[in-house]
Structure 1
């Protein structure tokens, strides 16, 4: 197992690579070219420059005696253009044009040495919360989902609320360029069914997997977040049955999962540990985090320790350790702790401290299980 840490890039993240390098156990930076829009080709020079930045050590750090390096094996995400999900031309691109660009990007990432690419197949919005800075009893804040608000709120008002509360940082899945075209996308999804989405999904996988196999790049789909339909749009990566269906659409081992256990567990009926054990050989990348459910359908994100919420993070890490898992794992959304709520406000869910604490907890379970074998 290789532990990773998501980083949004120089000038686009409140956390520095030098800080991440000091977290025990972290080997991989999970990165992306966040200025690239869905459907755009990633240029070789851009890829190589970002990977060199991640894997290198600055002259200033070297002068301080820093020698520890990180790798850039995992990209999160190369976003799938809406034309691929819809099988129709939208936002100026046809499905086949968008797929051709996606294949070119995968080829270039593979040539550069990237091993895993995360993506999602969610319509319009990549993820949804109603409060980005919800206060918790310990004084920290965290992402929060309030069911009644979503039931009563229009997508347009939600977009305005997210832009207002983003802290001035771009939110993946809520990019201004995407949101500016919301009306077109909303109209394009009218009448689209789950069956339509699966049919288009298979077409996409069949088109990209030969390139994945040739250039040794595994792709892993991220579960829907939250894992149920919203605003009438069909979501198809929400349940254990959905995951099995997606893996059956193309049986290549390069077609796999980015199994985000927090997103998956936002539906209390989903069994996170069972999913890990069932799909172990197709989980290329995993996010481990914790959430707490409320009887009215709300949920909040909490610390990684299992007893803090309703996700069995101990059982998850034990399952990975018992299986000698060799893929990539990272902590996911953490609380915003200490001065992060005031002086150095991070991208919601992506502060430094709680993710660093979470890594130590997850590795502690891993080490304990491995030592006891």
Structure 2
């Protein structure tokens, strides 16, 4: 596997030099400073690629080309924005970037309620607390019809959370949920998120799924021509937020997406942590079923509560058997080598990581500190080395 490292560009407090010391081979990045839906220029892409090459890395994955909400709604200026997206995709592919990760989550991207939740070892982790989220949705945002969407039990827990909030903690919770997290494409105020939610209020799961499939029918041929592959990222979390549809959450969703446009360029980002937060998702089984379409992997883990809450866990200690998942990916790599597939190695990155040691006192992008990811990468590297050795030993004996 290609050990990669997410880098948010020249302003990232965790530098390319840090990634080099972590032992990464590849960089996962994008033109994060250009997020308004306009096409990225080949010159800007070439400049970013040269920066990465000069530091001794390959640009393994573009994550992500920003996607204007009109594309997901297929209203307003969607034609203009999808054409701009296709231009960026073509330019990234022709620059030699082999994979483009993207998502189709409406309004809010990956979502948490606490960016500094204490762990049992003294570090800090990202957490999504269902009662806190419902407290914001029902009692702070006061979204129309929100109270009817939740059970009496979770509403009672949310009311207790809300009653304990002061102005500062309310503002912090709101910033965490709607003000944008690293790699997200939208940042909102309370007024603007109400307006955006209203735009999506009449769109169903079937509508959004249909819009995604129409999007793929347009962009997959561009990816094929440019020599790159698309890898859709699962919803994070993989269940409805603010009453919005989510259509990249289950194996059935993935079958619909992959089957709609049957091309190797229409692929999947296997985000272990995102998929793991649904109790009915068996991630190693998903990895095996969709192995030939997995072009990128986010390797992180979560612990989950019965009410839907979850927390980022140690990479090897969570709901999903990470060793079994990596074994499925290594088996697919072996198959690709035998068949001559151009992507014989699957790019992976240690996704997120706890705030540890002196990183706790530094300003870093939430989830993307240096030490926590370095620890995760080292653990994952050990799993890969052990599995590779075991497979080689068995093959030699045979």
Q: What is the TM-score normalised by the length of structure 2?
A: 0.84
Query: Are residue 173 (structure 1) and residue 184 (structure 2) matched?
Result: yes
> Alpha-carbon deviations, 1:166-211, whole Å to 9, x = none?
9x99633264479874333211101100110111111111111111
Match of 1:259 among 267, 270, 284: 270
Query: Are residue 197 (structure 1) and residue 184 (structure 2) matched?
Result: no
Partner of 1:281: 292
> 1:174, 1:180 → 2: CA distance?
17
**295-304 or 138-147, larger mean C-alpha shift:** 295-304
Cα separation, partners in 2 of 1:50 and 1:199, compared to 1, 3 Å? same
| CA-CA distance at 1:295 after TM superposition | 2.9
Query: Are residue 340 (structure 1) and residue 343 (structure 2) matched?
Result: no
Unaligned runs of 5+ in 2: 142-168, 335-344, 392-398
**77-86 or 331-340, larger mean C-alpha shift:** 77-86
Match of 1:110 among 93, 101, 104: 93
| CA-CA distance at 1:213 after TM superposition | 0.6
> 2:243, 2:351 → 1: CA distance?
27
Partner of 1:161: 172
Secondary structure of residue in 2 paired with 1:284: strand
**145-154 or 98-107, larger mean C-alpha shift:** 145-154
Match of 2:332 among 323, 326, 341: 323
Secondary structure of residue in 1 paired with 2:22: coil
| CA-CA distance at 1:286 after TM superposition | 0.7
Partner of 1:353: 371
Match of 1:78 among 65, 82, 88: 65
Secondary structure of residue in 1 paired with 2:21: coil
Unaligned runs of 5+ in 1: 58-68
> 1:359, 1:365 → 2: CA distance?
10
Q: What is the RMSD computed on CA atoms of the aligned residues?
A: 2.2
> 1:222, 1:170 → 2: CA distance?
15
CA contact (8 A) 2:69 2:107 kept: yes
CA contact (8 A) 1:335 1:349 kept: yes
Partner of 2:43: 45
> 2:219, 2:175 → 1: CA distance?
37
> 1:278, 1:264 → 2: CA distance?
14
Secondary structure of residue in 2 paired with 1:350: coil
| CA-CA distance at 1:297 after TM superposition | 2.6
> 1:197, 1:178 → 2: CA distance?
24
Partner of 2:127: 144
Partner of 1:63: none
Secondary structure of residue in 1 paired with 2:333: coil
| CA-CA distance at 1:222 after TM superposition | 0.4
Q: What is the TM-score normalised by the length of structure 1?
A: 0.89
Secondary structure of residue in 1 paired with 2:312: strand
> 1:177, 1:108 → 2: CA distance?
29
Partner of 1:64: none
CA contact (8 A) 1:126 1:225 kept: yes
Q: How many residues align?
A: 352
> 1:72, 1:294 → 2: CA distance?
37
Relative to total residues, which structure has the larger helix share, 1 or 2?
2
Partner of 1:230: 241
CA contact (8 A) 1:223 1:259 kept: yes
